[in-house]
Amino acid sequence: MNLTVILVLISAVAVAAVVALLVVIQRNAAERQRIAKEYEDAEDDLRRRLMELTGEKAALESTLKARDEYESRLREEQEKALETQRQAQEKAMAAQREIQEKAMAEQKEAQERALNMQKEQHAKELENMKDAFKALSADNSFEFKRQSAESISDLLKPIQEKFAEFGKAVQESRKEVVEQSAQLKEHIHNVMERSQAVGDEARNLANALTGYSKVQGDFGEMLLTDVLKNAGLVEGVHFFTQSVMTDEAGHEIKSEGGRTMIPDVMVLYPDDTTVIIDSKVSLNSYKEYINAEKVEDRVRLAKAHVESVRKHVDELKTKDYASYIPEGRRKVNYNLMFIPVEGAFRLMLEEDPMLWQVAKDNNVLIVSQMTLVIVLNMIQMAWKQANQEKNIAEVYKTAEELMSQLNGWMESYVSIGTFLSKAQNAYETSTKKLTESNQSVVKKIQKLERLGLSPKKSQAKIKPGARKTGPESIIPPELSETLTNE
């Protein structure tokens, strides 16, 4: 029985063990299934995250590629714009130089032609006068020749002086044309060098600028003054800085708000036309744009720069300096807004090409260094042309004075000829009256002298025989020769 019990117990234990083993096996299978499911879920999450990261990588690569393409295209466009602007400037300079040289050549040729014609005419007139004077003087006495020569010398002296002044004026005009031609060539060379240095100046100025508008205004005005002087204009003569606008009576001109009108620069044309230039545009946003590294920052700052320029255009439109110039003076109905940095000007055109036209419609012309130099060259050429015209007017005035004096001399010369002709006619008439016919006075005197009558004797003695007219005769030899010839 004990054995049976033992076997039963052993069987029970074995069954319990089997049951326990089965329970453990089932628990492990469930755990394995749970772990397998978690692994599959984690694998799905990893696969999904990998796909998301792959997409993000592709997007980033596309963004980087687009940024590189944008920067490359921007550089190409900037280089192309610079090249186009440089070519346009060279063409404008070449055309301007050609027009100036052609005008100078034509003016020089006209002056030489007029001078040669006047010299030939004067030489011919002088030669004719000399021939006429020689022919006329040959029939007169030595004393008359001496007096006439002195009179002619006195008359010709102011004419010779006027000829000397005329020749001097023409020489000075020629010299000025040559000097202006040399100055024009040198100025074009300087402009080309200036254009090459614009990039460096722009960077240096942009780094020098601070956030203070007063400092920016001083920099802009200083650079504007430098550009004006390099263009050949003289401060205090051709342009004025920070000058109070005044009316014809010399009183200060006030705006509608009572503010004194003090533009940055006033440039004068030869005909007293006034051009107003402003140089106080803000470049803070442009400076930050230059220093920005991120594309989005550069885009934002470029727009801010354009907005700053537009704001200053509105301010100038409100000030409208040109409208306060007195009615009696000439003026250009535009205020020039000077942007001292060439890159800032180009950025404005690239971001908003229509802003320049909008400003122009509001009587504001936006100019950079290069475009302002072209305008200033036109002003300088106008001043040189005015000076040339003044010199030519002086030459013609001298020529007119010379011709007027020459005309008076000719009238006097003709009067002398008429007087001499009348004197010659009177002399010949008197001679005829004395010598012609048998009853002439001379023949009667000769007859008395042959009879012995002498002007030194108080009583005439009639001697037999005839006496020839001798040294003591009162009859001049010329009249005696006339009677002998007859």
To the nearest 10 degrees (0 to 180), the angle between helices 369-435 and 198-208 is 120
Kindly state whether residue 298 falls inside one of the protein's structural domains. yes
Same structural domain for residues 217 and 308?
yes
Domains: count for the chain: 2
Contact 442, 483 (CB under 8 A): yes
* Residue 294 Cα distances to 59, 204, 291, 322, angstroms: 17, 22, 10, 42
Contact 250, 239 (CB under 8 A): no
pLDDT at 118: 58
In the predicted structure, residue 114 carries a pLDDT above the cut 80? no
Asked which of 316, 344, 367 is the last residue of a domain, the reply is 367
Could you tell me which residues are beta bridge partners of residue 364?
A: 335
Same structural domain for residues 219 and 360?
yes
Kindly state whether residue 233 falls inside one of the protein's structural domains. yes
Asked which of 346, 367, 388 is the last residue of a domain, the reply is 367
Q: Domain of 445?
A: 437-453+467-486
In the predicted structure, residue 363 carries a pLDDT above the cut 70? yes
Q: How confident is the model at residue 464 (pLDDT cuts 50, 70, 90)?
A: very low
In the predicted structure, residue 271 carries a pLDDT above the cut 70? no
In the predicted structure, residue 166 carries a pLDDT above the cut 70? no
Q: Cβ contacts of residue 463 below 8 Å, gap of 6+?
A: 451, 452
Asked which of 316, 340, 367 is the last residue of a domain, the reply is 367
Of residues 474 and 84, which shows the higher confidence score? Answer: 84
Angle CA(95)–CA(98)–CA(101) in degrees, nearest 5?
A: 150
pLDDT at 300: 92
Contact 366, 278 (CB under 8 A): no
Same structural domain for residues 218 and 357?
yes
pTM for this entry: 0.40
Kindly state whether residue 160 falls inside one of the protein's structural domains. no
Same structural domain for residues 321 and 446?
no
Highest mean pLDDT among 13-22, 145-154, 438-447: 13-22
Q: What is the pLDDT averaged over residues 438-455?
A: 66
Angle CA(26)–CA(28)–CA(31) in degrees, nearest 5?
A: 110
Q: How far is Cα 118 from Cα 166, in angstroms, rounded to an integer?
A: 11
Residue range 183-227, pLDDT digits in tens: 656 655 665 565 555 555 545 555 544 444 555 556 777 888 888
Q: How confident is the model at residue 461 (pLDDT cuts 50, 70, 90)?
A: very low
